[in-house]
Structure 1
């Protein structure tokens, strides 16, 4: 049995193509279904069915679009209230897709109706368990995404689901989770690394470090940082069913056209490298450097129904940015504009960026506000003395906690979040210095 991992680093998630011979079963696909179709074509595979382990909270699923395009069954838990035709499955259901045997395991916790798929074949009777947001590598899926009232019962269910997987499946069974690769759907984890099997996870996974369910639940519920604001839109989008994502380059705008749209409420997002933004950017534009964290933080900091203009240069990849935003349902990209052209209309700004050596050598003893925009748990773990802690996603709403008459020096863990927050503060009239450096270099100076 062969498994093709289809990673989506922007969201920290994985989809899977499980195959035996020429027959494939696809689990938790993203909306850009052409990736899956191309992989299957390259491997000579015919998709027999598609399954989603749960109604996803962190991305818009491509399950319906892929199954519809290929004309194959789409497996979704029977109790999930969806607006489309699917194969309604329950715990213990078994499906034979050619040489593949797919067993449904109800593993609630991440969501109430969460399921895992155990896939076996004649050549691999031990098989693999596609665990979605249930048991992850070293961790489990977070349990607070449905509601505050459901968090404790789902935490208890998650504990029991992990034990069910470990107790009922052979220890050699490969574990293939969807979350846990940077996704905010993952809960607190351990540093130990297993061999990727159910037995390996029994040795290292945090859920098995707590023989008492009550202690585990208390620890889990106390560990949560906030999750991205756009998550609240993902469940409704997935219950309604989404179309395939086939991104195209946004319409090219002239500087005056883009400026007019900005005047009408569109948000100019500078997707260039942070270094380019530091040196020169159109006034009024917000830095959100394209990369692995791009869509998560843009969807966290700005309303999902906003109209966006991408500010680019010759090295930018606007199609990749559109694809990344489409993963989380942001689709109103009204155009792209060259940074230099928009600057000619709106004026040019810049941001001072330094490293921690420069900060400690030249700024540490001067009047300033040191702002830490990391998550609360990161700040609790280690911090620079005197730092004000406001997570990046709360800066806009807590800006009154900062004094606009005193310079603000912004840091995070490595520079991405500090740069984005510094850009926002610059647009609000603050005198900003961004520390674009690894925090470890700062802590080493203490």
Structure 2
């Protein structure tokens, strides 16, 4: 039977896991923590999982590898050099692991994203011996990029970047051009040093398109270090969990909270997160809540913004949306929300005094407001606040804007100048989250719910753009 490699996408975190099978047995690579998706896919394929593989100890998500290996009885392959708090099958460079009768994995040391990173070549047996089908590259060779090299601390970043260059070159020298490349990161993950808008790739394509295979080591290191931007604060906690071994997940419904209990939680300094679309949040919401809609990378921004361990209550229109949010949160190590409530602002803010609105605008409205002719219903634009990340700001921003990246905003609210704040990001998602934080601090705010690429055409002066 032909070998089948299935992708298990986690688009909210920008990662992929894989299930490769020969029709009878299967190997799973870099599984997310909610392993029910993997087990369901294996059941659909009618295959038995015999091996679970980690390319490296992840920082951006909690692995489901340990639990998947336990429930399936599979061997759990983890780099022998990694210090972990659980039993595993230790693997090192050059090791060959049979998978059934027709497949094998070859471990290739590809340090760079981490010191002990391994890639795994998937070989198939044929009449002429073994031939490589593809390589699971984890956070090493990505589509048009590589994994970032600064997650283990600044003191290691340059050395790891140099190793990343050597590792990518090693894979390209080892494997023929037709070999498929199957990375874990690079689809929006902050673990990637860059992004490429392609769905699949090969060693040959990467040889032509990937800077790591086109640049000399010194130039690659310089470019890589210059392009690194901030990454989520919760990575520090996730890495520790993965080294210790994650516990099984509990995705059962959590306690319901009524309107009075929601107010008590907000008053106690807990986070009450509104998962609805930002337009619904702007129309009416419970005072003191934070907007992080499920239509965007909710878990990434929540995990980046909160003080780790702060209780989180989830508000959504339906129980299914709460369940989706729970699944997203366990992937980054927020195991159990404190409470939940479903419905809408009328139920959550039973007292009309607790109901709030946010004003929405676009860039043409900002241009008019800055010219002293704000559209009806909108106040003057005393402050324009840009909450994008530093590299986004450097690439171009609104002339005269104040820059406070969203992850920094909770600790830097006092730095936002006085007056009415018009806040923007690149689309409106982060701007609404920032506006909710500002409004909770008593500021008057307008959300620019518009794409930044429209600003110049709307008459908003820009600086730093090409």
- Name the TM tier (shorter chain): over 0.9
Change in Cα spacing, 1:92 to 1:50, as seen in structure 2 (3 Å) is: same
The equivalent position to 1:199 in structure 2, one of 194, 198, 204, is 204
Deviation of 1:114 after TM superposition, in Å, equals: 0.3
Give the paired residue count. 443
1:269 touches 1:285 (CA, 8 Å); kept in 2? yes
Distance 2:262 2:83 in 1: 41
TM-score, reference length from structure 2? 0.92
The equivalent position to 2:382 in structure 1, one of 365, 368, 376, is 368
1:312-365 Cα offsets, whole Å, 9 max, x none, are: 224860000011011000124111124323312571111101122222234554
Deviation of 1:256 after TM superposition, in Å, equals: 1.4
Distance 2:250 2:41 in 1: 16
Give the match's secondary structure for 1:317.
Answer: helix
1:347 aligns with 2:364: no
Distance 1:388 1:262 in 2: 28
Distance 1:68 1:128 in 2: 27
1:161 aligns with 2:167: yes
Distance 1:80 1:50 in 2: 16
2:249 touches 2:335 (CA, 8 Å); kept in 1? no
The equivalent position to 1:255 in structure 2, one of 259, 274, 291, is 259
Distance 2:365 2:330 in 1: 39
Alignment correspondent of 1:320: 324
Distance 2:319 2:451 in 1: 25
Moved more, 74-83 or 200-209: 200-209
Alignment correspondent of 2:290: 286
Deviation of 1:190 after TM superposition, in Å, equals: 5.8
2:108 touches 2:120 (CA, 8 Å); kept in 1? yes
Moved more, 254-263 or 27-36: 254-263
Alignment correspondent of 1:431: 444
Distance 2:151 2:144 in 1: 20
2:187 touches 2:195 (CA, 8 Å); kept in 1? no
Q: Gapped runs of 5+ residues in structure 2?
A: 373-379, 460-466
Q: Which has the higher contact order (CA 8 A, sep 6+)?
A: 1
1:66 touches 1:244 (CA, 8 Å); kept in 2? no
Distance 1:232 1:218 in 2: 25
Change in Cα spacing, 1:207 to 1:256, as seen in structure 2 (3 Å) is: same
Report the RMSD for the aligned CA atoms in angstroms. 1.7
Alignment correspondent of 1:30: 32
Map residues 4-403 of structure 1 onto 2, 5 A cutoff. 4-98=6-100, 99-122=102-125, 125-189=131-195, 196-210=201-215, 212-314=216-318, 317-338=321-342, 339-345=345-351, 347-365=354-372, 366-403=380-417
Moved more, 140-149 or 372-381: 372-381
Q: Gapped runs of 5+ residues in structure 1?
A: none
Distance 1:68 1:134 in 2: 27
Change in Cα spacing, 1:268 to 1:112, as seen in structure 2 (3 Å) is: same
1:381-431 Cα offsets, whole Å, 9 max, x none, are: 121211111111111222222123x10000111110001001110101111
